[in-house]
Each structure stands twice: as structure tokens, then as C-alpha cells.
Amino acid sequence: MIKSEWFFWLVGAVFLAMAAQMVFDRSNPKRPGTAAFWGLLGLCFFYSTWVNEKSLPAEPLGVAVLVLICLGGFNLTGKGKPDTTSESERTRLAARFGGKLFIPALTIPLIAMVCAVLADKWKIGGTPLLEEGSETILGLGLGAIVALGVGMWVLRERRVTVPLHAGRGLLESMGWALLLPQLLAVLGAIFQAAGVGDQVRKVTESVLPDGQKLAAVVLYCVGMAVFTMIMGNAFAAFPVMTAAVGWPVLIEQLNGNPAAVLAVGMLAGFCGTLCTPMAANFNLVPAALLELKDQYGPIKAQVPTAGVLLGCNILIIYLFAF
């Protein structure tokens, strides 16, 4: 049986290999911090296995997470000059490979879908081939591995270090932001352990009359959008609103379908992202790149769509999630 932990080890190993490359990357002015950040993250991926099994203590991992937060938070990570192709070389290569470039990219979702749909039919001696409950994640991992093989074959690339370097370039340009979603998930768990959810639920229940489905859905979706506009980030709004309304009221109290409520709730948050200058990378950076006089031009173009779509999201949850 292929276990999901094996896949987490693979991800950890990729982080470690990239960290090893970073150690020797002289073009990166913050070389030690960058290598330490990704190397430590890779090690955490391995150590976590035994934390989940409860055979090793979780506290050292907590310390490591705080170290990661400090390395990223105090700007000790940076990026090197990626060893890659120039714009004109890429244009030439694109002309040479043409549509074949899309084949490896499409391999990933294809294999992930196949694994998710067919997983329970694959069995060897009675045990399922893929660990139960992790089919999608394992499918993604298998898809990425197969896609890499296909890509190297299609592009006639023999050296494994080339995609590893190219991936590291992307990793470094995303930087610590790549870890933010996971840390927000961690924060959600701390909120729960500290009793934030219970407190917010009390507040919500005193505000919301019992069994008011529509009011609760509106509160959840509009709350997601408003919090996102204030914070500039739907990911940050999500743990707060889900602890307050989404989980206790919509899912537990009103028996909503968790996948529907939470997926559409996140998209309601995206409607907020479309309207806020706080989400600078999506709304202000394009205005600067396009040399617009009115830096709110893109937001103005997006607001009507966001408003109508927020209404759609409310209706989708209200009509289909219960």
C-alpha cells in the first residue's frame, strides 16, 4: 500500500535537496537564512510523521515552527539569480516544442483525477493500492512525478538537476509566502484549542436567532468578504469566520455539507479580495505595471462582478448545501 507519509517524505526530501542547492548559491545575498528556512521545513516534514504517530514529542516541532516563523518574519530569506533561459531563448524553445509544452502540465490533474476516482477499485491482495482517505493527495504526488518524467522525455532533458534548479527558482521567488497557508491552518487549530471558537459561537448565537439559515449564510459570506477586505487576504479571514459561523452554526447546528459551505465560503472571501487595495499584489501592482493614472482602476473594473458574485455564493450555499 502506498502511504501518504511516503509522499510527505518526498516533499521533505525535495525541500532538503533545494536547500542543499541554496547553500552553494553565491548569487543569493541571504544564502544562510534561505537554506536554513527550507532545510528546516524539509526536516519538519519528516519529523511530523512520528508526531502524528505520537511516538515522538510535538514540542520540538513547535519550536521549529517558531524558528521558521522568525526566519521568514524577520526577512532573513532571500532569492538568488536563477540559472535559467532568457526571454529570447524561451521564445525560440516555445516555437520548437509548440503545444507539446502543455502535455506534461496536463498530466498532473489528469492523474490526480484518475487516482481520486478509481482509487477504491485498485487493490492488491485485498489491501487498497493507495492509503484510504489520501487518494487525492497521493494522486497529486504521483501526477507530479509522472509529469516530471513526461516533461523530461518530451523536452529531451536528461539532467534531474535542471528541473530541481528551475523549481527552486520558483520556490525562492514565492519565498516564505508558500508556508503561509499552512501556518494559518496551524493558527486555526490554536484558536480552537484556546477556546476562541466557543466564545465566537456564543457571540454568534446571541446575534443570530436560532435556525435562521439564510441570515447565517449571509453572515458567513459577507463576513468572509468584509474580513478579507480589511485584512487583504481571504486565507487569513477563513480560520476566523469558519470558527465563528461556518463550522459551529452552518455545519454543526444546521447540518450543512462541509465541502460545499467551506469551498463556497472561501470563494465569497475572494469576492472581497477583488475589492480591496489591501490585496496590493492583485489590485495595485497591475495598475502600476500598466502605468495607470488611476491606481484603483482595476478595482473599479472588478467591484460590480464581485458584488453580484457574492450574492451568487450566498444563494449557492443556501440552496444546495443543506
Binding piece for other proteins, criterion CB under 8 A, among 25-33, 122-130, 141-149, 211-219: 141-149
Grid cell locating 163? 528541473
Q: Which of 247, 249, 250, 253 forms a contact with other proteins (CB under 8 A)? A: 247
- CB–CB of 220/268 below 8 Å? yes
Answer yes or no whether residue 178 interacts with other proteins by CB under 8 A.
yes
Report helix, strand or coil for 243: helix
Residue whose C-alpha is closest to residue 164's, from 14, 4, 314: 14
In the region spanning residues 98 to 137, those forming contacts with other proteins, defined by CB under 8 A, are 98-99, 101-102, 104-106, 108-109, 112-113, 116, 133, 135-137
Q: Output the nine-digit C-alpha cell for 126.
A: 485485498
Tell whether residue 185 is a contact of other proteins (CB under 8 A): yes
Q: Kindly identify the residues of this chain, within the stretch 283-302, that bind other proteins according to CB under 8 A.
A: 283, 285-287, 289-290, 292-294, 297-298, 300-302
Q: How far is the CB of 136 from other proteins (least distance, A)?
A: 5
The beta-carbon contacts of 245-253 under 8 Å, at least 24 apart in sequence, are: 245/200, 245/204, 245/216, 245/219, 245/220, 246/220, 247/197, 248/197, 248/200, 248/201, 248/204, 249/201, 249/204, 249/205, 249/208, 249/216, 249/220, 250/216, 250/217, 250/220, 250/317, 250/321
Q: How far is the CB of 125 from other proteins (least distance, A)?
A: 25
Report 35-94 residues binding other proteins (CB under 8 A): 41, 44-45, 47-49, 51-52, 57-66, 68-70, 72-75, 84-85, 87, 90-94
Torsion of CA 194, 197, 201, 203, to 10 degrees: 60
Phi and psi torsions of 188, nearest 5°: -60, -40
Tell which one of 20, 162, 208, 222 touches other proteins (CB under 8 A).
Answer: 162
Contact flag: residue 262 with other proteins (CB under 8 A): yes
Scan residues 198-227 and list those touching other proteins (CB under 8 A). Answer: 199-200, 203, 227
For the CA atoms of the chain, what is the radius of gyration?
23
List 33, 39, 188, 256, residue binding other proteins (CB under 8 A): 188
Q: How far is the CB of 148 from other proteins (least distance, A)?
A: 5
Contacts of other proteins in 19-38 (CB under 8 A): none
Task: For other proteins, give the closer residue by CB, 112 or 217.
Answer: 112
